[in-house]
Structure 1
Amino acid sequence: MTKNIETTSVQQAIESRRSIRKYAQQPIDREDLQHIFELVRLSPSAWNLQPWRFHVVINEDLKQKLEDAAYGQKQVTSAPAVIVVTSDMEDVLANLTETVHPGLPEERKEEEVATLSAFFNGMSVEDRGQWGLTQTNIAFGFLMIAVQGMGYASNPMLGFDQDKVRELLGLPAHVKFAGILPIGKPNSEGHPHHRFDLNKIVAFH
């Protein structure tokens, strides 16, 4: 029987989110993780290519090695789960038919696959990898809000040795990293928000 999962509103999740570096020592319910990713997989992407891939690290030995690769940042081992968010455009290109909407006529599906294949094969592996990373960053944002909405906390990280993390997870060289996200129940409050005034970041034309 699936449990009743309660979430906060999007506004509450955004307003209450803080970067948390100390977590309560209790595991995350697997159903909660499943629900988080059910929400995150609805993230939008250009041509619906969905290049994001999520590696959920819960093994304690692996988390310790991940902490070492993250220059000793303790939130990695403090959190019960650590999500490594990556982008894999080469996997996308190898399976383009999976991204095409099933409701399209067969002829349209073939046209779309041919168009996308020609477009991305005209780019270098590095350039299309960077393209996929811009899409994956959208999902990273959705992930943080989904985590917060489920009553958990997180801390987005880009300070880590990518080569070491790649080796730990057995990832191919072409895979790009959007970041690492430790998640769990907070055991600290985090810092109050300090953000720019709207006049600095918003321009109406």
Structure 2
Amino acid sequence: MNIKKAINERFSCRGYKSKRISDKDLNKILEAGINAPNAGNLQAWRFVVVNKEDVKEKITKASLDQRWMMQAPLFVVVCSDLKKLKTYYPDKFKLYAIQDTSIAAENMMLMAFSLNIKSCFISAFDDNAVKRILRLPDDIEAYAIITLGYSDEKKSSKRNSLNYSLKFNSF
């Protein structure tokens, strides 16, 4: 995989074909997630694959009812085990949960791109509803939802120049 191409060309896809993602490709995507850097190598992330239509429908409704989500053959809900993180990082466990799940999600989306599978990172959802729908244990929290699927959609987003975001030694 050309990592520069994946980083520069990956986009938030909102139009999918009904083509199923193979178990082999899904496993590659999930393996990329568990190989992400994380706080203290605790690997506190948990992934819930959602591929049943009725569960997808409930998750979609809990995600501001973004109807386009239903086109994706599956979702990966990226969660974190807060109890595990809190044991080692009592003051920063929530921050580390956000960071760890975000990095894992990006790894999965880049791997998906390398397999010609499109994705979208979703953070706009009712976390309590998702927790209830997926029957997540008390210490497991959902931080992101990734839609995955095949698409002919091609987009590019205008990005600010590096100079806009970059400062050296101080702001």
Please report the TM-score for the alignment, with normalisation by the length of structure 2.
Answer: 0.89
Aligned to 1:141: 106
Amino acid at match of 2:60: E
Q: Which runs of 5+ in 1 are unaligned?
A: 1-7, 94-115
Q: Paired residue for 2:129?
A: 164
Percent sequence identity over aligned pairs: 30
Which residue number corresponds to residue 189 of structure 1? 154
Q: Larger radius of gyration, structure 1 or 2?
A: 1
Shift of 1:16: 1.6
Match of 2:118 among 122, 129, 153: 153
State the distance in 2 between where 1:70 and 1:166 align: 12
SS of 2:121's partner is coil
Residues 67-107 of structure 1 show CA distances to partners (whole Å, capped at 9, x for unaligned) of: 111122123211001111111132x36xxxxxxxxxxxxxx
* 1:1-205 paired onto structure 2 within 5 Å: 8-90=1-83, 92=84, 117=87, 119-120=88-89, 123=90, 127-190=92-155, 192-205=156-169
- CA shift digits 1:133-185 (9 cap, x unpaired): 22222212211111111111011111111111110100133333321110100
C-alpha contact 1:26 1:80 (8 A) present in aligned 2: yes
Scaled by the length of structure 1, the TM-score of the pair is 0.75
Query: Number of matched residues?
Result: 169
Change in 2 beyond 3 A, CA 1:136/1:63:
same
Question: Residue 87 of structure 1 contacts residue 129 of structure 1 at CA under 8 Å; is this kept in 2?
Answer: no
RMSD of aligned C-alpha atoms?
A: 1.9
Q: 1:187 offset after TM fit, Å?
A: 4.0
Secondary structure of 2:76's match? Answer: strand
Unaligned 5+ runs, structure 2: none
> Deviations along 1:177-205, whole A, 9 cap, x unmatched?
32111010014223x22111111111233
Secondary structure of the 1:165 match is helix
Q: Distance between the aligned counterparts of 2:96 and 2:37, measured in 1?
A: 14
